[in-house]
Structure formats: structure tokens, C-alpha cells
């Protein structure tokens, strides 16, 4: 069950050597976390295993980003993104995440694998501004239309800059 965590304004900064890893099944249910995940997110393994990955979802993250994440994975492509996550105490930490398909010996996709590292502060600042605009659209459109509306805003913005999502986030 997802705990009701009250967000604080305290940031947990990663070291450049920190690599936060988790694995999920095809539905986003956590099947593995490494020690760095447990240390930074401050969750014991027992509280995260078998839970949906939204256990670390921060309310400042637009729904449109997660729509893009799942659409990308279901199309068989890897996802890159800047994510603000919540710790068990309500603090937050920013990561640059790469999520890939986790395959069995026959090449069948059995889940997903995420590797996260400390992001550059300038990249976080850029994405934070975009995420705030996406959140404003989501609030205006209401819950049902929020993910599509803010994902559309993001793709329109990138199109007007003459770039794509992947090129943009990888260039930051
Ligand atoms: C491998 C993998 C790793 C994920 N890691 C995160 C994460 O670190 N933080 C997060 O908020 N969502 C993460 N997600 C996305 C969640 O599954 C979920 O879509 C997101 O938290 C939004 O949840 P909600 O729509 O139920 O609020 C991950 C998904 C996968 C497949």
C-alpha cells in the first residue's frame, strides 16, 4: 500500500558515484532495488518490494512525463528522463534516469530496469521550468485529460525548438 508521505522542501543530493537501480515487472511493480536506492530513498527493501514504483512519485512530477515513459517503453524503446523523487521522509532527490527493457534468455521482455545518476544542476533547472508549465496545464485540464495535455505541450515545445524529446534531454 502506498504510504501518505508529506513532501518537505529538503533536497537529498546524490554523489556523482551514486547509481540508483531498480527493476520492475511489466506493470511497474518493483522486483529489485539496490542498496543505493534504499539509502537515498530511505526505504527498507521490505517496504518497496512488490509495490508499484509510484511509491517514490513526487507530486511536482507532471503526469505527462510518466505517460511518455510508459508509451516509450511499450514501443520497445528505452526512456531517458529527469525525475524528481520522494524519499520515505518526504524529502526529494533529482535523478537522470535511463529505463530499459529487461529480457529473459529468449529475448522476451519480462520487465523494466532503471539506472539513475546525479543530474547536472543546469539540466534540472531547465526541466523544472518545463515541468512547471506542464503541471499548470494539467491543473487546468483536470485529472482525466492531464497526461495527454501536458505531453502534448512538451512535444509542441520541442517541435518548435526543432528537436525531439530524446535529443533534447540527452543534450542537457
Ligand atoms: C523501471 C521503472 C522505474 C520507474 N522509476 C520511477 C521513479 O523513480 N519515480 C517515479 O515517480 N516513477 C517511476 N516509474 C514510473 C511509475 O511506474 C509510475 O508510472 C509513476 O510513478 C506515476 O505513477 P501514478 O500515475 O500512479 O501516479 C518507473 C517505472 C518503471 C517501469
**Does residue 53 have its Cβ closer than 6 Å to ligand 1?**
yes
Of ligand 1's listed atoms, the one at least distance from the Cα of 99 is: 1
24 found inside a domain: yes
- What total of structural domains would you count in the chain? 1
109-113 long-range contacts, CB within 8 A, separation 24+: 109/26, 109/76, 110/25, 110/26, 111/23, 111/24, 111/25, 111/26, 111/31, 112/23, 112/24, 112/26, 112/28, 112/73, 113/21, 113/22, 113/23
The CATH number that applies at residue 32 is 3.30.450.20
Could you list the residue range(s) of the whole structural domain that residue 100 is in? Answer: 20-163
1 found inside a domain: no
119 found inside a domain: yes
117 found inside a domain: yes
6 found inside a domain: no
The residue behind cell 518548435 is 160
83 found inside a domain: yes
**Does residue 37 have its Cβ closer than 6 Å to ligand 1?**
no
Of ligand 1's listed atoms, the one at least distance from the Cα of 113 is: 1
Per residue in 110-146, pLDDT (tens digit) is: 999 999 999 999 999 999 999 999 999 999 999 999 9
133 found inside a domain: yes
The per-residue pLDDT string of the chain (172 residues; one tens digit each, 9 = 90 and over) reads: 455 789 999 999 999 999 999 999 999 999 999 999 999 999 999 999 999 999 999 999 999 999 999 999 999 999 999 999 999 999 999 999 999 999 999 999 999 999 999 999 999 999 999 999 999 999 999 999 999 999 999 999 999 999 999 999 999 9
Could you tell me the distance, in angstroms and rounded to a whole number, from the CA of residue 63 to the centre of ligand 1?
A: 10
- pTM given for the model: 0.95
Q: What separation in angstroms does the CA of 27 have from each of 23, 73, 129, 152? A: 11, 11, 30, 24
46 found inside a domain: yes
**Does residue 87 have its Cβ closer than 6 Å to ligand 1?**
no
Of ligand 1's listed atoms, the one at least distance from the Cα of 23 is: 1
Amino acid at each position: 500500500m502506498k504510504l501518505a508521505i508529506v513532501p518537505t522542501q529538503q533536497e537529498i543530493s546524490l554523489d556523482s558515484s551514486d547509481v540508483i537501480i531498480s527493476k520492475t515487472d511489466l506493470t511497474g511493480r518493483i522486483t529489485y532495488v539496490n542498496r543505493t536506492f534504499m539509502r537515498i530513498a530511505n526505504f527498507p527493501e521490505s517496504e518497496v518490494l512488490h509495490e508499484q514504483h509510484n511509491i517514490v512519485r513526487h507530486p511536482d512530477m507532471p503526469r505527462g512525463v510518466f505517460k511518455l515513459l510508459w508509451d516509450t517503453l511499450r514501443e520497445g524503446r528505452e526512456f531517458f528522463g529527469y525525475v524528481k523523487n520522494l524519499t520515505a521522509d518526504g524529502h526529494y532527490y533529482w535523478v537522470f534516469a535511463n529505463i530499459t527493457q529487461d529480457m529473459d534468455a529468449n529475448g522476451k521482455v519480462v520487465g523494466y530496469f532503471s539506472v539513475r545518476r546525479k543530474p547536472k544542476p543546469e539540466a534540472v533547472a531547465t526541466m523544472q521550468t518545463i515541468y512547471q508549465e506542464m503541471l499548470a496545464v494539467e491543473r487546468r485540464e483536470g485529472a482525466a485529460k492531464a497526461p495527454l495535455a501536458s505531453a502534448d505541450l512538451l512535444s509542441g515545445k520541442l517541435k518548435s525548438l526543432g528537436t525531439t524529446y530524446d535529443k533534447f534531454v540527452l543534450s542537457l
